[in-house]
Structure 1
């Protein structure tokens, strides 16, 4: 059965270089843009659509090489830098800046890169585990996890793509990236979605620099209210990267979401929707260390060491 989002009429925008982008839009008010992960597309945000469209003008789009876009891979150096410039052009086209950006995985990386390159176009950020992998090396355990991830997941997937074995590459990436959240990774629908978006991961897997580092001083100076999320069941490489990013962004709030792997928005959508809406509906920039904010009727405490603690019944 098609979700309410998937029943929306897709629209198209052509941006610089003839890049053709498909998107869906609903709601009114301040603009909120959903930015999907590596093997997702515009439909990935179905669990969020009904929760956010009553409050925002919501737009979800397929990034450059994701379905149903038919853009030809024309670079061996594709990365979040190019994806962020695509999003910047789209915000102009939609007359949407400054916009709230909600991103997961490589979509979170894209949104964060946009905020650094074009800070005036971003109102707030809610980011799930952006894979700025060089930052994992800021801890010994993180470096070991990154090297293991490279050796066991990224390198074999790149070799499979280079050999024309896209199905194998997608399987390696799916199993190697998602962690142990309950999500849709192993369902027929989940596998079909990933295969139809294989070109997006081919572009990254065969890129000379798919996971570039970000300017640390620019991260510290970023003014947009930011919520960083990670799953309690995510892989160590994602956890280490998110923790390192959090330490570089003392202005950001950090939240561990229960019963989730790498794809929090699909693994635990009720909690994801609740905490992100709470974050957006409050003046989060006024909260300092040690202050409390609310998720429904339950407190989430931002402690002085920037670790978020919750009661087990919180959600």
Structure 2
């Protein structure tokens, strides 16, 4: 996979949560899956809706959605292996979307909530799609915000691929920081790049989110090193689950193109645009994203 596409995967890293700090859930639980312990929040009753976090983040990024979803459904937001603040079970050698997909499938079984709806953002869109392809019986439907499935770029016209390659140059400063073994600075630069912020824009984000990013900065080098399994249009054509794909009005060509490709390939998928945002939509358009999720759940 071209390095530029690998770098773009780190756009999954950013998870803002508005300008005021939400009140975090006081009660978390743990579950054993595939030999490791995962932390999760579980609230509400009814249809299970599992929120899968983006990269360089953990279950806390979904906190702004918890109360609204829990009024009508059962929301489960969990932290993927290697993320969060707990010690790693190893040196990171198992870090991969295959590991994260296997963990998600086992979590659904362990909590006895399959088939469940999955809500994703960026990198977690790859993880959830792998689960839907490998274990369709566990997935009732999906809501993706700008899923990060870079293998689909290979199916785009050559001029579009070239433009995406040019677009990825904005991640250069982040890669330089990573090569200098400065994970926290790399995280800052990735955040500024993917959210189209000016240099120093990281410091303008809410302190509690900056804390979450710092907590998860240790995963950046692992994230860059992995190669994602290839998912092509023919694979998506086999998915029967209803799927809503959301994209921001001002999002990068990379994400907009992947969203459009998924809708073209996946028979039960539809796409909608959220105005005024880019890849930061799940944060800066919380009400719109929440309404889209609830509307989808009502329809399906």
TM-score by length of 2: 0.84
Q: Secondary structure at the residue paired with 2:244? A: strand
Conservation of the 8 A alpha-carbon contact between 1:25 and 1:60: yes
Correspondence list, 1:260-299, <5 A: 260-283=277-300
Higher helix share: 2
Correspondence list, 1:126-141, <5 A: 126-137=143-154, 138-141=156-159
Unaligned runs of 5+ in 1: 284-315
Conservation of the 8 A alpha-carbon contact between 2:164 and 2:254: yes
The alignment of Structure 1 onto Structure 2 pairs a total of residues equal to 277
Describe the shift of the 1:166–1:272 C-alpha distance in structure 2 as closer, same or farther (beyond 3 A).
Answer: same
Describe the shift of the 1:117–1:179 C-alpha distance in structure 2 as closer, same or farther (beyond 3 A).
Answer: farther
Matched, 1:21 2:38: yes
Match 1:243 to one of 257, 260, 264: 260
Unaligned runs of 5+ in 2: 1-19
Match 2:77 to one of 60, 63, 68: 60
Equivalence for 2:166: 148
Higher RCO by CA contacts (8 Å cutoff, separation 6 or greater): 2
CA RMSD of aligned residues (A): 2.4
Describe the shift of the 1:89–1:47 C-alpha distance in structure 2 as closer, same or farther (beyond 3 A).
Answer: same
Equivalence for 2:116: 99
Q: Secondary structure at the residue paired with 1:202? A: helix
Equivalence for 1:113: 130
CA distance in 1, matches of 2:81, 2:222: 10
TM-score by length of 1: 0.80
Task: After TM superposition, give the deviation of residue 126 of structure 1 in Å.
Answer: 0.2
CA distance in 2, matches of 1:20, 1:158: 31
Equivalence for 1:298: none
Task: After TM superposition, give the deviation of residue 215 of structure 1 in Å.
Answer: 4.0
